Amino acid sequence: MTETVTQPGSGAAIRAASARIADPEQRVLERIAEIRKRKPTLREDAITMSHGAGGKASHTLTTALFGDILSNPVLDQLGDQAVLALPGVDQVGIAVTTDSFVVSPLFFPGGDIGELAVNGTINDLAVGGATPLGISAAFILEEGLDIALLRRVVESMRRAADRAGVYVVTGDTKVVPRGKADQLFINTTGVGTVALPPQVALHRIAPGDVVLLSGAMGDHGATVMLARGDVDLEADNLRSDTMALHGLTSALLADGIDVHFMRDATRGGVATVLNEIAQAAGVAVAIAEDSLPVHDEVRGVAEILGIDPLYIANEGKLVAVVARDHAPRALELMRSRPEGTEAAVIGEVMAEPEGMVFIHTGFGGTRVVDMLIGDPLPRIC
Amino acid sequence: MKFADEFRDADLARALGARIAAESGDKHWKIMEVCGGHTHTIFKYGIEDLLPSNVELVHGPGCPVCVIPMGRLDDGIAVAHEPGVIFTCFGDLMRVPGSTGSLLDAKAAGADVRMVYSPLDALKIAQQNPDRRVVFYAIGFETTAPSTALTLMRAKAEGIRNLFVFCNHVTIIPPMKAILDSPDLKLDGFLGPGHVSTVVGIRPFEFVTNTYGKPVVVVGFEPLDILQGVHMIITQIHEGRCEVENQYKRVVHDDGNPKALEVLSRVFKLRSHFEWRGLGFISQSALELQDEFADYDAEKVFSVPGVRVADPKACQCGEVLKGVLKPWECKVFGTACTPETPIGTCMVSSEGACAAYYNFGRYSRARERERVLASGEHSNGNGNGHANGAVAEHDLQPIPVQAR
Amino acid sequence: MCLAIPARLVEYIDDDHMYGKVELGGVQRRINTSLLVGEDVTEPGEYVLVHVGFALSRVSETEAAETLRILEQMGPAYTDEVQQIREWQAMEEELVGANYRESNGTPAA
């Protein structure tokens, strides 16, 4: 393996960085900074649940295995959706996204797997600025599944699709022997149109931009955690926030708001989205803890289990990065819509320190917000 | 009163930080918070930002996850792989690396590993699965041990025979003593573990003041508690006092919780010695089950490998834990030892001193540079936005640190 | 080392007061209350410190108020420092807040 000085994270780059600095502490810190720029490597021999949790391990699996082997100019963008050019058409591209849904339990307060499967895929299109054209639905069913239950799920999909104004246009069904799947898995793929060049793109994020969040954090993840029953907590007023966001995103874009980037904050929570933004755009993101909307019940669950709402999953919330002078209008517009009544300005984009997210605590201190390492596990210490 | 937000007040924090700054003088203070929960609070609220740079908090050995030696984790994982076993543990432990992987890896390899919130949940699983052997991998200091004890007492009373405890409960005094006995110790005082003290009281810490002449303040877990504790230690030293003080009177009684102490002694006895990751073997520093509960003792019922995995020689966690070395001064810090591939205890949990420094160290340095650069750089940045700047201030929540 | 949080005791769910229900932010959980003896005997409506499903002690409102009183006395006694704090705040506003407004053409107050 050959190393060049220019290759970030290479041994030569680290040595070069070290040589420039006399202060030994600073030297160590610069070495770490260089090491962090290395492409992540997949160390594990087997898939663990962490690889599906949306945090660092998922990110490593995606880039170091899928991204590496399947690498091509479209995939390498690693967006929520891919944009395909149509031969001979300059102004419009086709946006494609796909997502699989494996939630347990299938039904939970505020929603079910069918509704998630429709809304989740619509949201992945919406945050790229695309207009949904239609979605597909593929089902993997476990032998013995109650058909009445399947019917309820599909009816729920129908309602969600009707609300969102899209058709489920094609599908597929496979049945696997009992025990080879957990009741029911759904994959949905969404296709939409997007104006070219895309207005919403990572490279448009710039220092000075303002970061907005469309509503309170953690409702979905906390609801499902409680519905699973493992932690023995009850909260009467806790509901999943599953919701289609394309109405909100199209309203923002139609109003002429200079939206630089959007992403829906699903697994891994808002913290993970902010880290993805900071790393992919090579900027810093600073947020203010006091500005973060969180419902009391989610705060309660988080305090009891020792987890941070910033890392809890959402299914109807997006993070938007907008040009600074458009932020007030963006906030006003979000709040005027049912999807965004609790929207807030949560922070801003800064040039330095590159790739980092930090939070100004309500207490007057500052801390770094790292990517989720694995699942947000309850802790006792 | 909800006993939380009241102790997170930013204005009081600033006043207290200023007072500490004024009273700490030129001396460089090193105060150890013994408990990992305090370390967590310190990072979560950014408390170090409110302290003057001459007051340094040293993060102590009180994280029950970090101190579990690799060999014992390997033993646990071996038990998890035994046929018919449901292995239960707290979420904290799932990702901690043993010599050949973590419990998450064991789960991926087919072991039935389940996370529980309470030892009582393990008991419930045992009741629901009478044909399976349910093992609870118990960790924690005196705070957590009574919960395990009461769970075992209940299992025994109800005749439940398929619950087993793999006991790794440890006690806080011996490692503190080990740190204090270190000849190169450079600490001025201790923030005592508030939640351990709800059980043991504050008197067990008197040896620190009496034998070693270092003040101890038992403090709570809200950020103001910690700042007040720091102030109380500085005040003690200024006034020539050396006492065990209780800042956390709202939950800690001087004599602890007698009922909890009673169940502890009924179910547990001291082990002759126990290995601590980073600190080595410390005599009488951990608990094992009384003979009366031998049938519930996973170490007796299952054959565990019991292979000791030595702390890597290059690792200098012991020195970091004692506050002798700063994380970045360790030979393997940031090279062989990183949060993704931790070697020593201080890197294992995100609350460990080294992991925290790895993640936050560069940032705090970078921010100091920013402070210096900020005024000049920002005033001429963003210039093009001024012309049409018709943004009403009230439309936007100000983002800054303290604009409320 | 030990995550324990104050939560309101809603009720005891058995006559022996071995188990109770606590509430925090609208979230409820059943916990073991058998360690609440002596000084820690707790009435429903009061707060207890909860750790791994067990109440470790009663949270004393009187003692909490006393701690807060001491803390509050520390602040105002130091007028110089209050001035210092204002300067810090101004500096921080300059760093993030004022800069934020300034760039929109609205001068910092």
SS3 letters across chain A: CCCCCCCCCCHHHHHHHHHHCCCHHHHHHHHHHHHHCCCCCCCCCCCCHHHHCCCHHHHHHHHHHHHHHCCCCCHHHCCCCEEEECCCCCCEEEEEEEEEECCCCCEECCEEHHHHHHHHHHHHHHCCCCEEEEEEEEEEEECCCCHHHHHHHHHHHHHHHHHHCCEEEEEEEEEECCCCCCCEEEEEEEEEEEECCCCCCHHHCCCCCEEEECCCCCHHHHHHHHHHCCCCEECCCCCCCCCCCHHHHHHHHHCCCCEEEEEECCCCHHHHHHHHHHHHHCCEEEEEHHHCCCCHHHHHHHHHHCCCHHHCCCCCCEEEEECHHHHHHHHHHHHCCHHHCCCEEEEEEECCCCCCEEEECCCCCEEECCCCCCCCCCCCC
| CA-based nearest residue in chain B for residue C108 | B393
The identity of residue A34, as a single letter, is: E
* Nearest CA distance, A293 vs chain B (angstrom): 12
Chain B residues closer than 8 Å to A47 by CB? 108
**pLDDT, averaged across chain A:** 90
**pLDDT recorded at residue A111:** 96
Choose the weakest-confidence range: B224-228, B361-365, B399-403: B399-403
Q: Where are the domains of chain C?
A: 5-99
All domains of chain A, ordered by start, with CATH? Answer: 11-41+199-368 (3.90.650.10), 93-194 (3.30.1330.10)
**Is the confidence at residue C97, as pLDDT, over 60?**
no
Show the tokens assigned to B279. Answer: 């600190």
Q: Is C5 on the interface with A (CB under 8 A)?
A: yes
pLDDT for A32 beyond 50: yes
pLDDT tier at A10, thresholds 50, 70, 90: low
Share of chain B above pLDDT 90, in %: 55
How many whole angstroms separate alpha carbon B170 and alpha carbon B192? 16
The predicted-structure confidence for A42-68, as pLDDT tens digits, reads as follows 878 889 888 888 778 888 898 899 999
Q: Which chain B residue has its CA at the smallest distance from C101's CA? A: B393
Side-by-side strand order, sheet with B85-89: B112-115, B85-89, B133-140, B163-169
Contact A235 C26 (CB under 8 A): yes
Which has more pLDDT, B403 or B36?
A: B36
Taking alpha carbons only, the member of B147, B182, B165, B161 closest to residue B60 is B182
pLDDT reported for residue A81: 86
Q: pLDDT by residue (tens digit) across B249-277?
A: 999 999 999 999 999 999 999 999 999 88
| Residue C96 distance to chain A (closest CA, Å) | 9
Chain pair A-B, CB pairs under 8 angstroms: 177
Q: Which of A190-204, A324-338, B155-169 bottoms out in mean pLDDT, i.e. has the lowest?
A: A190-204
The region of weakest confidence among A232-241, A290-299, A350-359, C88-97 is C88-97
With contacts defined as CB-CB under 8 Å, which chain A residues touch C28?
A: 233-235
User: Which residues does chain A have within 8 Å of residue C103's beta carbon, measured at their own beta carbons?
Assistant: 208, 324
Q: Sort out which chain C residues have CB atoms less than 8 A from B370's CB and list them.
A: 95
Quickly tell me which residue has 């807030």 as its tokens: A344
Residue A138 in tokens: 């593929």
Question: Contacts of residue A298 in chain C, CB cutoff 8 Å?
Answer: 25
Pairwise CB contact (< 8 Å): B400 & C61:
no
B390 and C105 within 8 Å at the Cβ level: the answer is yes
In this complex, how many residue pairs, one in chain A and one in chain C, have their CB atoms less than 8 Å apart? Answer: 57
Summarize pLDDT for B124-174 with one digit per residue, the tens: 999 999 999 999 999 999 999 999 999 999 999 999 999 999 999 999 999
- Residue among C1, C26, C96 minimizing CB distance to A300: C26
Q: Is C3 on the interface with A (CB under 8 A)?
A: yes
Residues of C whose CB is below 8 A from B119: 52-53
- Residue B402 is predicted with a pLDDT of 29
Mutate which: B11, B88, B226, B340, vs A, most A CBs within 10 A: B340
The per-residue pLDDT of chain B, averaged, comes to 85
How high is the pLDDT of residue C84?
A: 57
Above 60 in pLDDT, residue B44? Answer: yes
Asked if A92 contacts A130 with a C-beta cutoff of 8 angstroms, the reply is no
Residue C38, chain B, CB below 8 Å: the answer is: yes
**Measured between CA atoms, how close is A289 to chain B, in angstroms?**
9
Kind and range of the H or E element at C48? strand C47-51
Contact A220, A316 (CB under 8 A): yes
Q: What is the pLDDT of residue A356?
A: 87
Q: Which chains touch B (3 or more CB pairs under 8 A)?
A: A, C
Say which of B4, B120, B399 has its CB closest to residue C96.
Answer: B399
- Mean pLDDT, residues B363-374: 50
pLDDT for position A317? 97
C-alpha distances out from residue C21 to A100, B1, B119, B199, C14, Å: 38, 19, 17, 21, 10
- Does residue B93 or residue A299 have the better pLDDT? A299
Quick check: A3 pLDDT over 60? Answer: no
Tell me the mean pLDDT in the region A198-202. Answer: 90
B372 close to C (CB below 8 A): no
Q: Does B387 touch chain A (CB under 8 A)?
A: no
Are the CB atoms for B218 and B202 separated by under 8 Å?
Answer: yes
Q: Taking CB atoms and an 8 Å cutoff, what residues of chain A touch C96?
A: 286, 348, 360
Could you give the 3-state DSSP secondary structure of residue B107? helix
Q: Do C25 and A297 touch (CB under 8 A)?
A: yes
Chain C residue at shortest CA distance from B148: C52
Contact A235 C103 (CB under 8 A): no
> Using CB atoms, which chains have 3+ pairs under 8 A with C?
A, B
Instruction: Check whether B352 has a pLDDT greater than 80.
Output: no
pLDDT of residue B98: 84
| pLDDT above 90: residue B361 | no
pLDDT tens sequence across A101-118: 999 999 999 999 999 999
State residue B192's pLDDT score.
Answer: 96
Mutate to test the interface with A, among B14, B399, B402, B404 (most CBs of A within 10 A): B399
Alpha-carbon span A37 to A30, nearest angstrom: 11
Q: What percent of chain B has pLDDT over 70?
A: 88
CATH of domain C5-99: 2.30.30.140
**What is the per-residue pLDDT for B95?**
80
Q: What is the pLDDT confidence band of residue A380, given thresholds at 50, 70 and 90?
A: confident
Shortest CA distance from C84: residue in chain B: B18
DSSP state of B93: G
B367 touches chain C (CB under 8 A): no
pLDDT band, residue B59 (cuts 50/70/90) = confident
CB atoms A305 and B90 under 8 Å: no
pLDDT of residue B270: 96
State the smallest CA–CA distance between residue B240 and chain A in angstroms: 31
Give the pLDDT score at A119. 97
